[in-house]
Structure 1
């Protein structure tokens, strides 16, 4: 099935309006692959007819499905473990010391996809209950994809999804096998995370002033003006000594003045570095 340039423009406008992401020509090759199942389900015969149905505006659920299909929801548990080691080691130890009086941490997984990142964090804290006894650990996760957020809330994953990033010991401890080679994450971990459907160009979720923000492998899909807006939103949501974690191929350099590289924790970023104490080893 060929995709006309007019159809690509319509899809690009829809994706941009809903999410702020751009559908560059370099990504247009994915359109046929990700939308062909919708074409078959609706019996439309061609992608152009699917796009025409979306453009007509009479089927909002179809438009939602198209946007969800166009989004890249690639993720896994503990994706890029080296970055997680920096975040949950020296950077978190620094925040633990700074929050010793309030004993409260707020974490935002922005662009959480199907929830593996947020549940990785919940799992990490749940496995260290004695260290964090008496603390309030709030984990908020958001994504613009309705389908991704619904799966995240349900906490049901395929065998392939669970095996990506998790050793067998954690699989057996935190998941229960379900029919159809699926695995259900524990109620304990589900209760630790609040999922919301939210675009990164929208106002940040409550409570704001997050100590840790993860916004990984999302910014690269935005045009430069939108990327600047997103960085402003992230800065608005970050505590003054908060930590920002981006994807391995992303950076703040040349993108924003709101964050700078953490000189002590490689791959992490700070909002106000002059207010930060040096990283120390995790206890």
Structure 2
């Protein structure tokens, strides 16, 4: 890939999603944009870039930017975190409120495996402390195609093999004539999916008890991470928590969130005082 083509597409990803793609991973650009290039009849990515530059089409540009974001996900990823959410964090949030309702936002939920994993846990292993609670799960992603796939709840054989037990596969899925596995209507009804860019205001999504934004920020540049962190903080209910992926941190990115005193690896609204790196120890 020529440097000029790479630079144009890497810049498109950065502006559209905050994602950084190093030159050493230019092959990712080729792989992720190949389906769009074929669909539009472009002979090469050079032709695609020429189209982007010569014709002002924000919708097409946004589609290309979304396609450049990693969709890597699987069922029950970081399983211990999901179990802690169901067994400890959600019961604590339910007890601290008086509405009998809990709202969970999965930010950057890709093709839905994370949301459905949580729904399965709540269906199969609901703790007594959550019985009778109305739990709403919203999963959002920048990519329209990923959001539509998540909403349909259909997965290939390789996808259901990643993290999903045979018991849960047989209990919650049926095999379609095409050979795909389709998640049950009962489970699909427990999750809502919306297209949303994390760089934009999330005010229209409402407030949440818990926000999971796992393994999303690590691919963004620093300014985008700070912007997203502030946006997540704005959508927390009083006492709500943000949960990141293992090894991810918000230290130095925002003064709106600080490490939670109750659960390691989670973040709560701060008093606005900048925190040093030692405060997360």
TM-score, normalised relative to structure 2: 0.87
Q: Quote the offset at 1:225 in angstroms.
A: 1.5
Is the alpha carbon distance of 1:94 and 1:26 closer, same or farther for their aligned partners in structure 2, counting shifts above 3 Å?
farther
Partners of 2:145 and 2:108 in 1: how far apart?
A: 13
Distance of aligned partners of 1:69 and 1:207 in 2 relative to their CA distance in 1, 3 Å threshold: closer
Deviation digits for residues 226-277 of structure 1, max 9, x if unmatched?
211111100000122111111113112222222222344222222259xxxx
Aligned residue pairs total 270
Structure with more contact order per residue of length (Cα contacts < 8 Å, sep ≥ 6): 1
Following superposition, the deviation at residue 6 of structure 1 comes to 1.7
Pick from 108, 114, 119 the counterpart of residue 116 of structure 2. Answer: 119
Per the alignment, residue 215 of structure 1 pairs with: 213
1:105 is matched with 102
Q: Distance in 1 between matches of 2:155 and 2:141?
A: 17
Contact kept, 8 Å, 2:136 with 2:191, in 1: the verdict is yes
Q: Which residue of 2 aligns with 1:269?
A: 267
Partner of 2:93: 95
Aligned twin of 2:82? 84
What's the offset of the Cα at 1:199?
Answer: 0.6
- Over residues 88-132 of structure 1, what are the superposed CA-to-partner deviations in whole Å (9 max), with x where a residue is unaligned? 222223213213x21110100000100111111222222356844
CA distance in 1, matches of 2:30, 2:158: 24
8 Å contact kept, 1:216–1:246: yes
| SS at 1:28 equivalent | helix
Which digits, 9 at most, give the CA deviation of each residue in 1:6-31, with x for residues without a partner? 21222123223332323333432312
Stretches of structure 2 that go unaligned for 5 or more consecutive residues are: 272-281
- Residues 191 and 221 of structure 1: is their aligned pair in 2 closer, same or farther, counting only changes over 3 Å? same
- Distance of 1:6 and 1:219 partners within structure 2: 27
Identify if the C-alpha distance between structure 1 residues 88 and 26 changes in structure 2 by more than 3 Å, giving closer, same or farther.
farther
- After TM superposition, the structure 1 stretch with the greater mean CA deviation from structure 2, 101-110 or 119-128, is 119-128
Q: For residue 244 of structure 2, what is the aligned residue in structure 1?
A: 246
Other-structure match for 2:226:
228
1:217–1:249 CA contact under 8 A, matched in 2: no
2:10 aligned with 1:12: yes
CA distance in 1, matches of 2:167, 2:254: 41
1:186 to 167, 184, 190: 184
State whether residues 90 and 102 of structure 2, in contact with CA within 8 Å, keep that contact through their aligned partners in structure 1. Answer: no
Where in structure 1 are there 5+ consecutive unaligned residues? 274-283
2:46 aligned residue (41, 45, 48): 48
Contact 1:108 1:212 in 2 (8 A): yes
The alpha-carbon deviation at position 207 of structure 1 amounts to 5.0
Q: Do 1:244 and 1:270's aligned partners in 2 also have CA atoms closer than 8 Å?
A: yes
Q: Is this contact kept in 2: 1:240–1:272, CA < 8 A?
A: no
